[in-house]
Structure 1
Amino acid sequence: MSTVKDVTFDLLRRLGLTTIVGNPGSTEEPFLKDFPKDFDYVMALQEASVVSLADGLSQGLRKPVIVNLHTGAGTGNAMCAILTAYLNKTPLIITAGQQTRDMLLIEPMLTNIDATSLPRPWVKWAYEPARAQDIPAAFMRAYATAVQQPAGPVYLSLPLDDWDQPMDATDVLRTVSTRVGPDPARVTEFGARINAAMAPVLVYGADMARGGADVWADGIALAERLGVPVWASPFCERPPFPETHPQFAGPLPPAIAPLSALLKGHDLIVVIGAPVFRYYPYVPGSYLPEGAELLQVTDDPDAASKAAIGDSLVSDAGLFLKALLPQVNARVAFAGGPLRKPPQTPTGELPLTPAAVYATLNALLPDDFVLTQESPSNIPQLQDQIRVRKPDVSYAFASGALGWTTPAAVGLALAERQSGRNRPVLCVMGDGSFQYSIQGVYTGVQQKAHLIYVVLQNEEYGILKEFAELENTPNVPGLDLPGLDIVSLGKAYGANTSKAETTEELAGAFKGALDHHGTSVIVVPITRALRGLLG
């Protein structure tokens, strides 16, 4: 007779889920014992890094990844990363060990008490099987829940003594659809309102990028048929439109009044694949310019429900575009020239400006690469100098919670290797952000991932100083970061590490890192001058 573990691992094979990312604990060892040779185990040094690494791997491979955490303690460590995976719409199947059933009533040490409540509200579903033999079917339900729109993480709490329990070799494999189609009547209504508008404008969100190259192409087709500007939604975690396209206007600011001001002159704002809207600092004003209306298309019913303004349609962005395009009239072709100015020419001052760092990197990047970043105070300079022109190139995080990118970049690099694309991954980090999950460097080194961390060191939390200026809150303690020897930290984890203070030194170090085909860390001192939170 088979065991629960036999049936479960057979199901995972048939689902194509043979990579497990984890940090092993005592309650997980029965699941991991005699680990199958046809599975890969990727180990990270802390549970937040485990989840973030799996998030990057899942996004890079466009399929779910199994995550293995250590009961309630490991889940607690991982909660921030689980929150981010939920907002990233990443389909992770998160498992956590649980104490043996024989002792659950008396709650011994490391019991995951009220296990299904712990990860909520940041998982789509959480479950602890009532019987050991329910585990394979629970994995199947977890998979089905994770991949359906809006995709996201799910959570299984699994008692350690369940795995060797006998069970029949039951076949629980089934399939589910992964996209939600639009209401045809609502598409017709939206098409008519677009055709009737005098000056519509498009706002695209990260769902356009998650949809892949076909959705990008249809998004371009709609923009060119209408001949209108395209903005990226605020805090958009993945570029939804070619940033080199002449109709691309740039990212919208994450504040009510400034966002509304940029859309002035448009009578219809069409938002596809994004919330309405992600705001951060409170700058009061009208949500929309006077006389403007808004249409929203999202695959997330919750995002449609909580939108502050506008009329919503729940649908996969790509399926909506396929249905809408035949109903939209072509307008006069766009003839205004590029809406964005060319990249600013950086100054030669020392310490280097972020613009100088990014311009230097951009000149040396190969045609195909992966970009990810967590340097909040200088993202506008990054977006100005390195303009993404293809889908599935740039990745960030939707939560605003630091610590995701260092390990997620490892996952993205592993996805490049598993997929055979083998693009180098450039990960731009602030010196403060880098400390949140710096142990992710270790996994990159051990996995021989072709990954280059460029750490911009200004010895401060620049984004918080910008926020303090906006909010008029002077003399906030804890915003300076002196004494971080990041070169030594990179070397301690085994990375190919160097410091570059000039553009010439940076160019040499970056060329060497591209040739290294392992994990590198380049530390670049930069100016402490602040830009301003809203530009």
Structure 2
Amino acid sequence: MTNATTVREAVVRFLRDTGMTTVFGNPGSTELRMFRDWPDDFTYVLGLQESVAVGMAAGHALGTRRAAFVSLHSAGGVGHALGAVFNAFRDRVPLVIVAGQQARSLIQLRPFLGADEPALFPRPYVKYARQPERAEDVPAVLAEAYRLAMTPPRGPAFVSVPEDDWDRPAEPVAPRTLYSEFTAAPAALAALAARLENCARPALVVGPGVADEDAQEPVRALAERIRAGVWISPLSGRSGFPEPHPLFQGFLPPVARQLAERLAPYDLVVALGAPLFTYHVADGGPPLAPGTELFHLDCDPAQAAWLPTGTSIVTTLRPALTQLLGLLREPHRAPPPPRPAPPPAGAAGHITPELVFDLLHTRLPRDRVLVEEAPSHRDTLHARVPIASSGGFLTTGSGALGWGLPLAVGRALADRRRVVCVVGDGSALYAVQALWTAARHTAPVTYVLLDNGGYAAVRALGRRIGVAPVPGTHIAGIDFPALAESLGCPAARAEHPGELPAALDHALDRGDDAGPFLLHLAMTDGADTLYEPWAR
């Protein structure tokens, strides 16, 4: 028995075979045995809070297009991480999450740090959750979790491992080949092709699934073939269409009546990888205007089931779009006019988001990834910083704050290209510990922190529904540059418009080996613009 492979050795071999050699976590007592004889070819990325570890792992997974491995600590650590797990689930990020559990011999005694019903705790925001019945089952259960995490729709999978399992004997598990693309029936795609050829005014709505499945190029080809206007789905967590393209029309609002009005000019709408009806504000409006027909293509049968209207085709996107393009002829219709560009930012005595984003647009290299978590200014950023490259924009599609800072760290570590993260002061404080990890791993991230003194998006929404003032939405007295520097991240500040061009140049023009940098910008409360573009 002394020569038998242990659970730990079998798991390490599986992680190596699947490329999950970067481990994100925050260690605790019930994980210690997992770290015995830690392999030299593995990298442990420490997050100072568990949600930070999950956010960094998500950024790494999006950058590598592979599942990332996360180590969490029992019930308390899983609880800390659940907000980020929720984001990963809604944003279809493949994660393999392993949580420590107390020893099997103690579980019946409700021990200190033990997790009651650990497989139920992270649900419903994981695709799979299990604590193996036997120690020798751990490698096989982990392999199953990995395969489910990587199967469309991708997402997090969870395994709870009692701490005394790691030294028990177990057989190694070899990775299996997984072909995860599947295509709709030819008859369904032929019916859609016929409708596209016969309609008068088609539109495409591009969702985060397009970027997740790396389908931006066939979507562009489809839009050009049928001369359709292209919209981004409400509150999408990723980019899926080149925004400088003349067919691009803008971003749909997360309000039912306004969304239906935007799509009312079209007689046929095709939603691609998009949960089209993502609402943030209830107004009692209909999903679509009369006369607008919907087709919906997505790999998730559950999403197809809850859509309130339209025809759903359950399929992965790339093979379906390839077949669809082969069925379509060039139509005799004019393309829609391009959307107008916003006017340049006007002069002001203070720094405005319009000025920041105009200057950022001229300075942001095309191949850079932009991460955003500044809800007060998201619409302004979208209007003034068009994203051209696939995977060039990342944010949370579900709204749980504390995602942006660690997501940017993990994304930067994936390929060591500088990432730019635009973040609000309120959002930054949910996960400011990520700056410590960024500094320790020399992650090439430039943080542009827009400080408007609190949770301005909540204040703005309160004003619009007649709740003012909103308690607990003001934050004051935090020296963000000093805080960043105490965590090892160099920082600077700008308070006047004349300082901004040079400050942005200094923050952005840094080599990919220069590590993180934070630029703090003093803003007025610009959240009065929140929802304003939706209301037009």
User: C-alpha separation between the residues in 1 aligned to 2:327 and 2:317?
Assistant: 16
The offset of 1:202, in angstroms, is 1.1
The residue type equivalent to 1:60 in the other structure is: G
Per-residue CA deviation, residues 48-77 of structure 1 (Å, 9 max, x unaligned), is 001011011100110001100000110000
Per-residue CA deviation, residues 165-217 of structure 1 (Å, 9 max, x unaligned), is 123x44443222222321222111111222222222111111111222xx211
The offset of 1:336, in angstroms, is 4.7
Match in the other structure for 2:374 = 375
The offset of 1:228, in angstroms, is 1.8
Cα–Cα, structure 1 residues 38 and 182, in superposed 2: closer, same or farther, change >3 Å?
same
User: C-alpha separation between the residues in 2 aligned to 1:373 and 1:15?
Assistant: 30
Match in the other structure for 2:137 = 134
Work out the number of aligned pairs and report it: 526
Cα–Cα, structure 1 residues 82 and 335, in superposed 2: closer, same or farther, change >3 Å?
closer
Q: Secondary structure at the match of 2:313?
A: strand
The gaps in structure 2 that reach 5 residues or longer are: none
User: C-alpha separation between the residues in 2 aligned to 1:48 and 1:431?
Assistant: 18
Match in the other structure for 1:125 = 128
Q: Secondary structure at the match of 1:190?
A: helix
The reply to whether residue 107 of structure 1 matches residue 104 of structure 2 is: no
Match in the other structure for 2:521 = 524
Contact 1:242 1:389 in 2 (8 A): yes
The reply to whether residue 465 of structure 1 matches residue 468 of structure 2 is: no
User: C-alpha separation between the residues in 2 aligned to 1:349 and 1:235?
Assistant: 29
Match in the other structure for 1:511 = 505
User: C-alpha separation between the residues in 1 aligned to 2:219 and 2:78?
Assistant: 38
The residue type equivalent to 1:175 in the other structure is: T
Superposition map of 1:184-263 within 5 A: 184-212=186-214, 215-263=215-263
TM-score by length of 2: 0.96
The reply to whether residue 77 of structure 1 matches residue 80 of structure 2 is: yes
User: C-alpha separation between the residues in 2 aligned to 1:158 and 1:152?
Assistant: 20
- Which stretch has the larger CA shift, 93-102 or 379-388? 379-388
User: C-alpha separation between the residues in 2 aligned to 1:350 and 1:102?
Assistant: 67
- Which stretch has the larger CA shift, 24-33 or 321-330? 321-330
Superposition map of 1:287-306 within 5 A: 287-306=287-306
Q: Secondary structure at the match of 2:39?
A: coil
Superposition map of 1:484-495 within 5 A: 484-495=478-489
The offset of 1:504, in angstroms, is 4.1
User: C-alpha separation between the residues in 2 aligned to 1:345 and 1:510?
Assistant: 18
Superposition map of 1:249-398 within 5 A: 249-332=249-332, 334-338=334-338, 340-398=339-397
The residue type equivalent to 2:265 in the other structure is: G
The residue type equivalent to 2:444 in the other structure is: H
Contact 2:490 2:518 in 1 (8 A): yes
Per-residue CA deviation, residues 108-139 of structure 1 (Å, 9 max, x unaligned), is 10001100000000000101111111111111
The offset of 1:501, in angstroms, is 1.7
Match in the other structure for 1:153 = 156
Per-residue CA deviation, residues 325-353 of structure 1 (Å, 9 max, x unaligned), is 11223213645542x21232112213211
The residue type equivalent to 2:209 in the other structure is: D
User: C-alpha separation between the residues in 2 aligned to 1:34 and 1:436?
Assistant: 34
Match in the other structure for 1:500 = 494
The gaps in structure 1 that reach 5 residues or longer are: none
Contact 1:364 1:507 in 2 (8 A): no
User: C-alpha separation between the residues in 1 aligned to 2:506 and 2:291?
Assistant: 55
User: C-alpha separation between the residues in 2 aligned to 1:315 and 1:141?
Assistant: 22
User: C-alpha separation between the residues in 1 aligned to 2:336 and 2:292?
Assistant: 22
The residue type equivalent to 1:221 in the other structure is: A
- Which stretch has the larger CA shift, 116-125 or 9-18? 9-18
Match in the other structure for 1:533 = 531
Per-residue CA deviation, residues 73-128 of structure 1 (Å, 9 max, x unaligned), is 10000010000000110110000000011111101100011000000000001011
Cα–Cα, structure 1 residues 503 and 351, in superposed 2: closer, same or farther, change >3 Å?
closer
The residue type equivalent to 1:502 in the other structure is: H
The residue type equivalent to 1:18 in the other structure is: T
The offset of 1:427, in angstroms, is 0.3
User: C-alpha separation between the residues in 1 aligned to 2:25 and 2:335?
Assistant: 52
Match in the other structure for 2:180 = 178
Match in the other structure for 1:91 = 94
Task: Choose from 18, 36, 46 the match for 1:43.
Answer: 46
TM-score by length of 1: 0.96
Give the CA RMSD over aligned residues.
Answer: 1.4
User: C-alpha separation between the residues in 1 aligned to 2:253 and 2:173?
Assistant: 50
User: C-alpha separation between the residues in 1 aligned to 2:467 and 2:40?
Assistant: 57
Q: Secondary structure at the match of 1:207?
A: helix
Contact 1:228 1:334 in 2 (8 A): no
Superposition map of 1:57-72 within 5 A: 57-72=60-75
The reply to whether residue 34 of structure 1 matches residue 37 of structure 2 is: yes
Contact 1:463 1:533 in 2 (8 A): no
Q: Secondary structure at the match of 2:510?
A: helix
The offset of 1:515, in angstroms, is 2.0
The offset of 1:367, in angstroms, is 3.3
Contact 1:427 1:451 in 2 (8 A): yes
The residue type equivalent to 1:469 in the other structure is: R
The offset of 1:395, in angstroms, is 0.7
Per-residue CA deviation, residues 1-24 of structure 1 (Å, 9 max, x unaligned), is 221111111111111111110000
Contact 2:277 2:287 in 1 (8 A): no
User: C-alpha separation between the residues in 2 aligned to 1:474 and 1:524?
Assistant: 26
Per-residue CA deviation, residues 139-173 of structure 1 (Å, 9 max, x unaligned), is 11011111111100000000111111123x44443
Match in the other structure for 2:447 = 453
The residue type equivalent to 1:66 in the other structure is: F
Q: Secondary structure at the match of 2:188?
A: helix
- Which stretch has the larger CA shift, 194-203 or 244-253? 194-203
Q: Secondary structure at the match of 2:529?
A: coil
Contact 2:14 2:172 in 1 (8 A): no
The offset of 1:511, in angstroms, is 2.4
